[in-house]
């Protein structure tokens, strides 16, 4: 080709991530439409099987409230999984921090704010200890957090002696799970969220086009916005048909939003993904691997503390008995939401969908009168499918060089 012909060749249009096919959807980390579609189909099935009880306003409000604890622990698990590590102590830390809060409130007269702050500080301290041992002494996170889980279980039981349960009476703490936003605020926040989400999606699409980067097809952009608006609108209608938007739900969504902003737009977030993707390459580029790992474990345990306080508020107590499935369900929610078990890939928004999938499964099976054996088998099957999909996606990404 001549130089003149080359100089007059028009610039290539921005590339799109494939046409209308399931593969392009499955590779999206944010707004995972296949998972959302599965959640919708699950809701339709359970609603039919329960004669309309599943999608009733009261049941959905209770479902979201029950899923708030799982979602917060799942968010903590996501932070650790993104750097390719694991934290087996998150469930125990959650209940221990809840017990610290309740004990200080009931036995030592701490105000609600002071007791909650102490519970969160306990979580941060635990994360600092775990992270320092893992990052500085280079002990595998599996061993460290397994030992921590055992040790903190004993500490939890010791803290509540001679009882196994302490009843919470402070309305400032119990109100976190029991109270609802004012109607005007409960309606305004979701609307603002939808507008902000749509604006960001359009802005990001235009920015990537200007830079001639890969962009999603325009139909997928519109579908992402439409699905988000529809789901939020339906959720808002159901909430307002019962008692309103729960404060606990607002806290969880707020936490997810904050951590999405941190992971998406800050240097720290880019470092986290870099460490999870290839720790050696990150170290060679000048990133302090040890500092990132310590900070992640501090954040994860603090989030577990938030979950424990939400659980104590919901049950109006602190208990020594830790649900054996809490940690596994949180990890399952993270994996179902698209976070890779191998690190470096996933979005914190997946926690929301993954937690709703797990919560809906449990709630729907209970409404059908299924016993715990059936619940465990179904949860195990769903988690296995999520892990298989994760492995297949990583293999496909490696093949196409993404």
157, 171 in Cβ contact below 8 A?
no
Q: Is 159 exposed, middle or buried (0-12, 13-18, 19+ CB in 10 A)?
A: middle
- Alpha-carbon distance of 126 to 115, in angstroms, equals 17
Dump the DSSP string for 58-103.
HHHHHHHHHHHHHHHHHHHHHHHHHTT---TTHHHHHHHHHHHHHH
In which band, very low, low, confident or very high, does the pLDDT at 77 lie, cut at 50, 70 and 90? very high
Q: What DSSP element (H or E) covers 267?
A: helix 267-277
- pLDDT per position as a tens digit, 91-125: 999 999 999 999 999 999 999 999 999 999 999 99
Cα-Cα-Cα-Cα torsion 376, 378, 383, 388, nearest 10 degrees, comes to: 140
Q: What class is the 30-40+51-179+246-392 domain?
A: mainly alpha
The whole-number pLDDT of residue 339 equals: 87
Q: What residues does each domain of the chain span?
A: 30-40+51-179+246-392, 180-245
Give just the sign of the alpha carbon dihedral 184, 186, 192, 195.
Answer: negative
Using an 8 Å Cβ cutoff, are 33 and 286 in contact?
A: no
Q: Max CA-CA distance within the chain?
A: 89
- Determine the Cα–Cα distance for residues 75 and 69; give it in Å rounded to an integer: 10
- Contact (Cβ atoms closer than 8 angstroms) between residue 55 and residue 237: no
**Confidence class of residue 397 from pLDDT cuts 50, 70 and 90?**
low
First to last CA, the chain: 31
Q: What is the pLDDT of residues 321-347, one digit of tens each?
A: 999 889 988 988 898 888 888 878 888
CB neighbours of residue 58 within 10 Å: 12
Asked if residue 17 has pLDDT above 60, the reply is no
Alpha-carbon distance values, 48 to 36, 86, 119, 368 (Å): 18, 38, 42, 10
Per-residue pLDDT at 402 exceeds 80: no
Cβ within 8 Å of residue 113, ≥6 positions away: 172
How far apart (Å, rounded) are the C-alpha atoms in residues 118 and 115? 5
- Contact between 80 and 141 (Cβ < 8 Å): yes
Task: Mark out the alpha helices in 316-371 (DSSP H runs).
Answer: 326-336, 350-367
Q: Read off the pLDDT of residues 173-207 as tens digits, 9 standing for 90 and up.
A: 999 998 999 988 988 988 898 899 899 889 989 99
pTM score of the predicted model: 0.87
% pLDDT > 70, the chain: 88
């Amino acid at each position: 080709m001549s130089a003149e012909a080359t100089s007059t060749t028009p610039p290539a249009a921005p590339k799109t991530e494939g046409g209308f096919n399931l593969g392009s959807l499955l590779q999206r980390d944010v707004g995972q439409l296949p998972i959302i579609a599965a959640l919708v189909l699950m809701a339709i099935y359970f609603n039919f099987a329960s004669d309309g009880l599943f999608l009733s306003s009261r049941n959905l409000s209770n479902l979201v409230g029950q899923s708030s604890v799982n979602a917060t622990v799942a968010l903590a698990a996501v932070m650790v999984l993104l750097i390719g590590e694991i934290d087996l102590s998150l469930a125990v830390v959650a209940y221990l921090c809840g017990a610290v809060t309740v004990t200080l409130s009931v036995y030592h007269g701490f105000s609600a704010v002071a007791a909650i702050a102490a519970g969160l500080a306990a979580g941060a301290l635990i994360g600092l200890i775990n992270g320092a041992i893992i990052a500085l002494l280079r002990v595998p996170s599996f061993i460290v957090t397994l030992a921590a889980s055992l040790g903190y279980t004993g500490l939890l039981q010791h803290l509540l002696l001679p009882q196994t349960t302490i009843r919470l009476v402070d309305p400032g703490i119990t109100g976190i799970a029991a109270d609802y936003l004012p109607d005007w605020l409960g309606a305004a926040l979701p609307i603002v969220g939808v507008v902000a989400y749509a604006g960001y999606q359009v802005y990001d699409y235009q920015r990537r086009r200007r830079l001639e980067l890969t962009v999603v097809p325009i139909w997928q952009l519109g579908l992402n916005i439409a699905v988000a608006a529809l789901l939020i609108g339906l959720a808002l209608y159901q909430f307002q048909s019962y008692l309103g938007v729960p404060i606990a739900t607002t806290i969880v969504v707020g936490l997810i939003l904050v951590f999405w902003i941190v992971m998406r737009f800050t240097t720290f977030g880019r470092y986290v993904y870099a460490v999870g993707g290839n720790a050696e390459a990150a170290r060679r580029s000048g990133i302090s691997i040890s500092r990132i790992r310590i900070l992640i474990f501090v954040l994860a345990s603090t989030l577990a503390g938030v979950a424990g306080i939400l659980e104590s508020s919901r049950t109006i107590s602190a208990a020594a008995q830790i649900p054996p499935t809490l940690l596994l369900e949180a990890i399952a929610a993270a994996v179902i939401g698209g976070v890779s078990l191998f690190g470096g890939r996933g979005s914190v928004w997946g926690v929301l969908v993954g937690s709703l999938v797990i919560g809906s499964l449990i709630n729907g099976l209970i409404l059908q009168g299924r016993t715990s054996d059936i619940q465990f088998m179904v949860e195990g099957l769903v988690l296995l499918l999520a892990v298989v999909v994760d492995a297949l996606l990583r293999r496909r990404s490696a093949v196409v060089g993404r």
